[in-house]
């Protein structure tokens, strides 16, 4: 019985990559981990309680006074560059699982308004510009716009109020946009806003214009519905489908269940960290081989909301779950890989992701000592480590 678990702490970076300031010069100082630890020590009057992350070697990747720098666990530790442009959850997970997103097209919606509007009208929708801005109002209820929660031009969104329309209607619009979009991801988002959607339209960096999901109340008011529609890729070459073909049961938890393709996989979409951890632990407790890929989203949401207090609470909750996973993964050949998909510094002063290195912490029962891994050029190294643990042949 061999179990391999990948836990992605969404938005948990460990320091800016050298090109982090290309878009926003202030992001050269981004450090999600360090700034979060400093803030919480000052706000709480104590360090964050992260014994499991310390034992997994986080302090060896990011030396900080509040992190242990030694461990008795058999671990391999390092960090990875992202391996794709910008800083994006979808591109991060697809890269991690083995897709090549290094050449993702970056484009503002303004550059493709005519094409997108024509596609929507051919599909029977009504479209109009909102106050002359490069943003479409579809059927009087759904906004098609640049995403303001990723680097400019990486993603487009179709956002609608669930008080005015159904998520199925929002998703149908998003699928039509996806068919003509050159960007990595089109995201269908439905929620309950604090007022008319037009009140939350904002100008972003790089000439983008979009709907501010954090400002709208979608994250606070409950009932959030999201579906990610990605650029074409070959999922048969990605880790989940490779594992499934080899007869390894695959479980996808949290946002990973929404954005990774694998027909045989058991899926547990969830946002609440407690649910993500519970589903992950249940999958590990099941008998037999297993590949589990889990995403903890609430860390990323706290970063978008620039709420380091909430981020700290989530990280302590994750740490408790990691401790339980370490206790369960005790068979030689088992692996627990803890990483992230990008940074999201909750103290940086904006609600975007930050382009940071991410930790790669590997618990490896049956091995001895601590191995230091060189910096990886891409998140694809995480998937490669998991594939090796499962004994999968090269894709």
189 strand-pairing partners: 159, 226
The rounded distance, in Å, linking the Cα atoms of 81 and 92 is 10
- Domains of the chain as residue ranges with CATH: 3-103+232-390 (3.40.720.10), 109-230 (3.30.70)
Instruction: Please state the rounded mean pLDDT for residues 76-92.
Output: 92
pLDDT of residue 151: 78
Confidence of residue 80 (pLDDT cuts 50, 70, 90): very high
Which residues share a beta bridge with 78? Answer: 360
124-181 confidence digits (pLDDT tens)? 999 999 999 999 999 999 999 999 987 788 899 999 999 999 999 999 999 999 999 9
Confidence of residue 22 (pLDDT cuts 50, 70, 90): confident
pLDDT of residue 104: 75
Q: Is 131 left (phi over 0), alpha (psi -120 to 50) or beta?
A: left
Higher pLDDT, 395 or 31: 31
pLDDT digits (tens, 9 = 90+) for 265-302: 999 999 999 999 999 999 999 999 999 999 999 999 99
pLDDT beyond 90 at 73: yes
**Average pLDDT score over residue span 43-47:** 96
Q: What is the pLDDT of residue 233?
A: 84
Q: What is the pTM of this model?
A: 0.81
How far apart are the C-alpha atoms of 126 and 224, rounded to whole Å? 25
- pLDDT tens digit string along 366-386? 999 999 999 999 999 999 999
Q: What is the pLDDT of residue 169?
A: 98
Residues ≥6 apart with Cβ < 8 Å to 65: none
Note the pLDDT of residue 395.
64
pLDDT over 90, % of the chain:
85
Average pLDDT value over all residues in the chain = 95
User: Can you tell me the distance from the alpha carbon of 367 to that of 137, in angstroms, rounded to the nearest whole number?
Assistant: 57
């Amino acid at each position: 019985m061999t179990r391999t678990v990948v836990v992605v702490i969404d938005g948990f970076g460990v320091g800016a990559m050298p090109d982090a300031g290309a878009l926003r010069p202030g992001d050269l100082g981004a450090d999600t981990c360090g700034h979060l630890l400093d803030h919480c020590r000052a706000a709480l009057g104590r360090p964050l309680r992260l014994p499991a992350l310390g034992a997994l070697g986080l302090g060896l990747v990011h030396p900080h006074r509040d992190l242990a720098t030694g461990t008795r666990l058999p671990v391999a530790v390092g960090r990875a560059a992202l391996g794709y442009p910008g800083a994006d959850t979808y591109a991060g997970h697809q890269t991690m699982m083995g897709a090549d997103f290094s050449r993702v097209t970056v484009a503002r919606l303004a550059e493709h308004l005519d094409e997108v509007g024509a596609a929507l009208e051919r599909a029977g929708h009504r479209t109009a510009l909102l106050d002359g801005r490069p943003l479409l109002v579809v059927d009087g209820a759904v906004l098609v716009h640049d995403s303001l929660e990723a680097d400019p031009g990486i993603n487009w969104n179709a956002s609608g109020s669930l008080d005015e329309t159904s998520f199925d209607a929002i998703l149908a619009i998003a699928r039509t946009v996806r068919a003509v979009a050159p960007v990595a991801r089109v995201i269908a988002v439905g929620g309950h806003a604090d007022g008319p959607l037009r009140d939350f339209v904002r100008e972003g960096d790089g000439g983008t214009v979009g709907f501010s999901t954090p400002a709208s109340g979608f994250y606070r008011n409950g009932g959030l519905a999201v579906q990610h529609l990605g650029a074409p890729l070959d999922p048969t070459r990605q880790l989940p489908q490779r594992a499934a073909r080899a007869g390894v049961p695959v479980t996808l938890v949290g946002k990973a269940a929404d954005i990774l393709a694998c027909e045989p996989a058991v899926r547990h979409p969830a946002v609440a960290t407690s649910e993500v951890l519970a589903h992950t632990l249940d999958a590990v407790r099941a008998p037999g081989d297993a590949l589990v890929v889990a995403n903890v989203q609430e860390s990323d949401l706290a970063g978008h909301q620039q709420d380091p207090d909430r981020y700290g609470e989530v990280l302590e909750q994750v740490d408790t779950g990691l401790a339980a996973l370490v206790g369960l993964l005790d068979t030689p050949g088992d692996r627990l890989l803890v990483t992230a998909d990008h940074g999201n510094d909750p103290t940086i002063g904006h609600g975007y992701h930050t382009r940071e290195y991410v930790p790669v912490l590997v618990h490896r029962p049956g091995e001895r000592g601590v191995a230091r891994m060189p910096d990886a050029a891409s998140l694809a190294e995480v998937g490669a480590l998991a594939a090796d643990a499962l004994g999968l042949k090269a894709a």
